[in-house]
A and B are shown apart, each in its own frame.
Chain A
Amino acid sequence: MLDPLPQESWSRRAAIHLLNRAGFGGSPDEQEALFRLGEESGIEAAVDSLLETSEDWSSQPWPDWALRDKDPNGDFYDPDGNTEAANSNSNFRNQGIRRREFTRWYFASLKEGQPLAAKLLKFFTDHFAIDSAAIGQYYRFIGLLRYFEILRKHAAGNVAGQDAPFEGDERLVPDGHYGNFRTMVNHVSWSIAMVRTLDLYVSTNRSINENFGRELLELFTLGVGDTFTNDNDDYTEEDVGTAAEAFTGRKIYNYRYPNNTNNGPYPAAVWQNNGLRDKSAKSFFGNEAMPGGADIVDGDDIIELIFNSTRCAKHLSWKLWRYFASPNPSKELVAALALRFRDTHDYEIRPFLKDIFLSQEFYDDSAINSQVKDAGDILTILEKQLEAPLVSKDAIEDVMQQLGYEILFPPSIAGWPEPDGDGNTWLATGSMVFRMNMPSIWSHRNFDVLTNNRVRNSLDEYPEVDWNSIAPRELRTIENFPLLIDALTKRFLPNKTLRKSQIRTLYQRYSAISEQLDSLEGVKELIRLLLALPEYQLQ
């Protein structure tokens, strides 16, 4: 299992598949370049080119209002530049504006970031879902920005190439570096956003709240059920209770607002109140002591024991495989992956992904086009394929509400639907209708598919797609239709074949519109119809 794909099996199809999964696809030129690189320098060189760890996110800085020493939550920010005390612009205090700016920042990170880092950011956003409502307004935006900063730094990998201490509200965390799953779980457990979302801030040795302890085991690490393992190694309700006891006494300092200089240190931070911490020796998940013999006491110990287990390695390997490769890996494959992830790579994410991207199983026919694009994929891929800039923050929010992917309001703390393949839960009837309607925003500036005038008006200045780049004029004659459809298929539906009847229908449509109006209208119509096809939903 997990043998590398033989060099002679490398193909354009394989290169396109790799681009789709390690990022958000590629233009026809990028597809060809990756294929050539694999041909000339070997598959490993092609894979390595997608694994580069250089993304420091400096091109996607936090918004202005979050960058100030005081008031990083933006509660008193005045875009007109007035000082806090004289701030007369209460308009910005509207949480909706900051929420939309935040969401746009996230989608800009997906679209403009190093593709694998962006793809991982999306994975973590789902795996470690947080809820804006639970975070509360006093910590909301600075809490969210810091949280997503943790996620996207881990997604970028070990950019510094060394162990580094952590800044901000991660300062209590043991040393480690970005790009390691175990370290990331530790970071998440110390973040304002998670401490608020799963009620850690109210869990003390005197009164336990088990919310975080339970989801740490179920969602973030060990998983439930036997889909990914035959071992009978489920944790128990007692383990949930023990984990909850270990993570007690994590508190949040309040802000010092510009008009309130009395309270607490600055900036807001999570800290350990030792008086409220359960310091008793515990037994957990079959362990009576730590591997070195010390007592099992705190949250760091619990996380270490969890990551020592096979079940954790299997669950996380299973989830990463489903996200990057195919929805239904065999239990044998999961077991092989788990050994690589835990024993070979000590939970280093990118080296583990390299094993996946090199493996024969990854390129199996059953893996190609086996995923339904999720909502983040749909928008990001569509805009990249059309070489179009990100739509307005208002439009992003509206589109994502209709697709069911509001990153600050997960449908549950388990995040969004998993990539299930057949039976995929992204495709509610209503979302399917919107997925088919949505391309006309770009092709025909059909803003009627958006739900209100504020959102529609926000696209007044949004530029027209560069149709000459997408469909060069010389391809637009009726005689050249085969060349045109070939170019468009390569761009929009790589690794997919249209049926003859579809091509015939598209041809009739294209020639009719080209004659009645002009060939540009024909091109737009063609693209709208291609992007509404069921085939377009797959990758």
Chain B
Amino acid sequence: MDINSKLNRRDFVAKSAWGATASLTLPGFLQQTLFNLDARAQSVPSNGGDGPILLLLEMAGGNDTLNTVIPYGNSIYNTARSSLRLNETHGFHKLTDKNGPSVTGNDEALALHPNLTYFDTLWKDGDLGIINGVGYPNPNLSHFSSYDYWHSAKPNTMSKDGWIGRYFDNQCDGCGSTSGIYINGRPTLAFRSSNGLSPTATFKNPGYFNWRDKSETGREQPLDKMYRKLIGLDHPTDDGISTTDTTLAYVQRAAHSAMVSTANVQAAIEEGGTLLTNSEWPTGNGLANNLKVIAQLIKGKSDTSIYYARQGGYDTHNNQVDVNLGPLAGRHFNLLDDLNGGLKAFIDEMKAQGIWDRVVILTFSEFGRKVIQNGSSGTDHGAAESLFVMGGQVNGNNYYGLYPDLAADARVKRNSMDFNVDFRTVYRTLLEKWMGVPPSAMPNIFPSQPVNFDPLAFL
């Protein structure tokens, strides 16, 4: 078999499983063949990184979208946010060309936060869509439950797998081990597959995502070759994966994944070289640093279709706006400045590389925040929120979903806004209209489906 031909991932998973159960009766060489199929399937090159790219950007902590996509003409907003509210004097960006459709039936006049200058440009260019009123039924106001729900796309259940993991399980034929990349220190449930074989990698710093053995003491072969042999990756007879101990097997696969994906990532970083917009990236902006790594991997044609980045800090219970300086200072102001600066640099680079038409970016948070501000110049956990979707092929300059009704009697969970677009619909739209997943696969990827599951029109 030509190892460079595409292997069907489902085939190799099935065969590995068969190999495992048959291992007592199969001769060693045959087990070994099956295992190599597994290992090579993880490193098989695919289309050289020419396909569609999806970047998921998680604004962790619960973004206050009422102060991000601002209903500045709404008297309830202005009353509920006595010291947090933003108005024209703060230099926000009115979306004057059209008002946002609202649950109330009266279109809402909306403005972007003063720091979202580039978002305003994207809106005018038709590359930014705004999805209002996003959430899920019976919202959970715990960060951790809500993270899990957004990552698993199974609200109100405990899930062992994530929506992207299930997408790879079901749709990713001949996937390389770096089909999904998350620039972070710890993994996301979103990537976790149901069988422990998620073809994804999670790391923080590509410079240290490597085998660092510069001494080479008495070594006729590099350290990674030794490791590969010891963990069974290149061993002629021993596949190195326990068939009896699932925890051990998990760790062994983690080691395999580490061996294979370091090689892929180093190759892409080397191939990519210096970014075209290298000198224009902001400094002191952690999100921008992570997006820069992603831009390098894209430039180096990493065989990756889904990138994931995270910006933490949105849990603004206090000092969301600066007590003394007002809304043009404070935690939320700084976060959105980093978000705007990071995304501007990233998108400029995508445009310079000539691939902005191949990229779609979705920003999301585990929940929005309450309508009424709290006593500490901040806001407590809420429910529905607004999402941003960007890309050269996005149907931008448009609203999707309805702006929630802010009125007291329309609120849920003690002063939170109610949703009207289920976030699973947004995910489905991305997979179906961007990644090309057939509708028939949706029941497998989304075993839990909302009542209204029709794709949105932003793509």
Cα distance, A312 to B247, chains bound together (Å): 29
The answer to whether A516 and B218 have CB atoms under 8 Å apart is: yes
Q: Does A27 contact B (CB under 8 A)?
A: no
The segment from B206-214, B273-281, B396-404 that touches chain A is B206-214
The answer to whether A214 and B142 have CB atoms under 8 Å apart is: yes
Residues of A within 8 A of B413 (CB): 237
What's the least CB distance linking A84 to chain B, in Å? 29
Residue from B140, B160, B215, B230 having most chain A Cβ neighbours under 10 A: B230
What's the least CB distance linking A317 to chain B, in Å? 18
The answer to whether A237 and B217 have CB atoms under 8 Å apart is: no
The answer to whether A538 and B247 have CB atoms under 8 Å apart is: yes
The segment from B9-17, B91-99, B179-187, B417-425 that touches chain A is B179-187
Cα distance, A509 to B226, chains bound together (Å): 9
Q: Does B227 contact A (CB under 8 A)?
A: yes
Q: Does B229 contact A (CB under 8 A)?
A: yes
Which residues, 143 to 201 on B, are CB-close (under 8 Å) to A?
Answer: 143-145, 158, 160, 184-187, 192, 196, 200-201
The segment from B35-43, B48-56, B114-122, B372-380 that touches chain A is B372-380
Point out the residue from B145, B226, B380 that lies within 8 Å of A211, measured CB to CB.
Answer: B380
The answer to whether A433 and B248 have CB atoms under 8 Å apart is: no
What's the least CB distance linking A226 to chain B, in Å? 7
Q: Does B257 contact A (CB under 8 A)?
A: yes
Q: Does B254 contact A (CB under 8 A)?
A: yes
Cα distance, A525 to B229, chains bound together (Å): 15
The segment from B127-135, B231-239, B347-355, B445-453 that touches chain A is B231-239
- Known A432-B258, A448-B214: A426·B186 in contact at CB below 8 Å: yes
Q: Does B262 contact A (CB under 8 A)?
A: yes
Q: Does B124 contact A (CB under 8 A)?
A: no
The answer to whether B251 and A538 have CB atoms under 8 Å apart is: yes
What's the least CB distance linking A252 to chain B, in Å? 14
The answer to whether B375 and A208 have CB atoms under 8 Å apart is: yes
The segment from A331-339, A376-384, A407-415 that touches chain B is A407-415
Point out the residue from B144, B210, B258 that lies within 8 Å of A412, measured CB to CB.
Answer: B144
Q: Does A517 contact B (CB under 8 A)?
A: yes
Q: Does A505 contact B (CB under 8 A)?
A: yes
Residues of A within 8 A of B141 (CB): 214, 237, 240
Which residues, 406 to 444 on B, are CB-close (under 8 Å) to A?
Answer: 413-414
Residues of A within 8 A of B249 (CB): 422
Cα distance, A240 to B209, chains bound together (Å): 43
The answer to whether B217 and A423 have CB atoms under 8 Å apart is: no
Cα distance, A367 to B200, chains bound together (Å): 29
- Known A430-B204, A533-B230, A537-B251: A208·B374 in contact at CB below 8 Å: yes
The answer to whether B254 and A432 have CB atoms under 8 Å apart is: yes
Q: Does B318 contact A (CB under 8 A)?
A: yes
Cα distance, A99 to B249, chains bound together (Å): 38
The answer to whether B238 and A501 have CB atoms under 8 Å apart is: yes
Q: Does A404 contact B (CB under 8 A)?
A: yes
Residues of A within 8 A of B104 (CB): none
Residue on B nearest A416 in the bound complex, by CB: B186
The answer to whether A534 and B185 have CB atoms under 8 Å apart is: no
- Known A436-B258, A509-B226: A427·B212 in contact at CB below 8 Å: no
Residue on A nearest B207 in the bound complex, by CB: A451
The answer to whether B212 and A437 have CB atoms under 8 Å apart is: yes
What's the least CB distance linking A273 to chain B, in Å? 14
The answer to whether A411 and B186 have CB atoms under 8 Å apart is: yes
The answer to whether A206 and B143 have CB atoms under 8 Å apart is: no
Q: Does A465 contact B (CB under 8 A)?
A: no
Point out the residue from A227, A422, A446, A533 that lies within 8 Å of B247, measured CB to CB.
Answer: A422
CB 8 Å contact bits of A235-270 with B (1 = contact, 0 = none)? 001101100000000000000000000000000000
The answer to whether B251 and A372 have CB atoms under 8 Å apart is: yes
Point out the residue from A218, A425, A512 that lies within 8 Å of B187, measured CB to CB.
Answer: A425
The segment from A69-77, A149-157, A197-205 that touches chain B is A197-205
Cα distance, A334 to B380, chains bound together (Å): 33
Cα distance, A501 to B236, chains bound together (Å): 10
CB 8 Å contact bits of A183-220 with B (1 = contact, 0 = none)? 00000000000000001001110111111001000100
Q: Does B87 contact A (CB under 8 A)?
A: no
What's the least CB distance linking A251 to chain B, in Å? 13
Cα distance, A352 to B211, chains bound together (Å): 44
- Known A224-B142, A499-B238: A429·B203 in contact at CB below 8 Å: yes
Q: Does A449 contact B (CB under 8 A)?
A: yes
The answer to whether B203 and A430 have CB atoms under 8 Å apart is: yes
The answer to whether B185 and A444 have CB atoms under 8 Å apart is: no
Point out the residue from B208, B246, B252 that lies within 8 Å of A402, measured CB to CB.
Answer: B208
Cα distance, A369 to B244, chains bound together (Å): 13
Q: Does B23 contact A (CB under 8 A)?
A: no
What's the least CB distance linking B55 to chain A, in Å? 19
Residues of B within 8 A of A402 (CB): 204, 208
What's the least CB distance linking B224 to chain A, in Å? 9
- Known A426-B186, A429-B261: A534·B252 in contact at CB below 8 Å: yes
Q: Does B46 contact A (CB under 8 A)?
A: no
The answer to whether B203 and A433 have CB atoms under 8 Å apart is: yes
The answer to whether A209 and B250 have CB atoms under 8 Å apart is: no
The answer to whether A538 and B209 have CB atoms under 8 Å apart is: no
Cα distance, A370 to B247, chains bound together (Å): 6
Which residues, 101 to 159 on A, are CB-close (under 8 Å) to B?
Answer: none
The answer to whether B144 and A414 have CB atoms under 8 Å apart is: yes
The answer to whether A404 and B185 have CB atoms under 8 Å apart is: yes
Point out the residue from B60, B215, B229, B247 that lies within 8 Å of A505, measured CB to CB.
Answer: B229
Point out the residue from A202, A414, A428, A533 that lies within 8 Å of B185, measured CB to CB.
Answer: A428
The answer to whether A430 and B205 have CB atoms under 8 Å apart is: yes
Point out the residue from B196, B208, B220 that lies within 8 Å of A422, measured CB to CB.
Answer: B196
The answer to whether A199 and B317 have CB atoms under 8 Å apart is: yes
Cα distance, A224 to B375, chains bound together (Å): 26
The answer to whether A430 and B208 have CB atoms under 8 Å apart is: yes
The answer to whether B375 and A206 have CB atoms under 8 Å apart is: yes
Residues of A within 8 A of B218 (CB): 512-513, 516-517, 521, 525
- Known A436-B227, A449-B208, A534-B254: A422·B246 in contact at CB below 8 Å: yes
Cα distance, A333 to B194, chains bound together (Å): 26
What's the least CB distance linking B31 to chain A, in Å? 12
Residue on A nearest B178 in the bound complex, by CB: A429
Point out the residue from A202, A210, A427, A516 that lies within 8 Å of B251, measured CB to CB.
Answer: A427
Point out the residue from B60, B245, B248, B318 that lies within 8 Å of A209, measured CB to CB.
Answer: B318
Q: Does A535 contact B (CB under 8 A)?
A: yes
Residues of B within 8 A of A451 (CB): 205, 208
What's the least CB distance linking B23 to chain A, in Å? 13
What's the least CB distance linking A451 to chain B, in Å? 7
Q: Does A532 contact B (CB under 8 A)?
A: yes
Residues of B within 8 A of A428 (CB): 184-187, 202-203
Which residues, 481 to 529 on A, are CB-close (under 8 Å) to B?
Answer: 499-502, 505-506, 509, 512-513, 516-517, 521, 525, 529
- Known A427-B251, A430-B202: A214·B381 in contact at CB below 8 Å: yes
Name B's A-contacting residues (CB within 8 A): 60, 140-145, 158, 160, 184-187, 192, 196, 200-205, 208-215, 217-218, 220, 226-227, 229-232, 235, 237-238, 240, 245-252, 254-255, 257-258, 261-262, 312, 315, 317-318, 374-376, 378, 380-381, 413-414
13 contacts between A and B (CB under 8 A): A202-B318, A203-B376, A210-B317, A238-B414, A411-B185, A429-B262, A430-B204, A437-B211, A446-B213, A446-B214, A449-B212, A502-B238, A521-B218
Q: Which 6 A-B pairs have the closest CB atoms?
A: A207-B375, A430-B203, A501-B238, A202-B376, A428-B202, A404-B185
Name A's B-contacting residues (CB within 8 A): 199, 202-204, 206-211, 214, 218, 224-227, 237-238, 240-241, 369-372, 402, 404, 411-414, 417, 421-434, 436-437, 440, 444, 446, 448-449, 451, 499-502, 505-506, 509, 512-513, 516-517, 521, 525, 529, 532-535, 537-538
20 new A-B contacts, CB < 8 A, other than A414-B143, A428-B203, A534-B231, are A204-B375, A214-B141, A224-B142, A227-B158, A413-B315, A424-B251, A425-B187, A428-B184, A428-B202, A429-B187, A429-B202, A430-B201, A433-B211, A444-B215, A446-B212, A449-B212, A501-B232, A501-B237, A505-B230, A506-B230
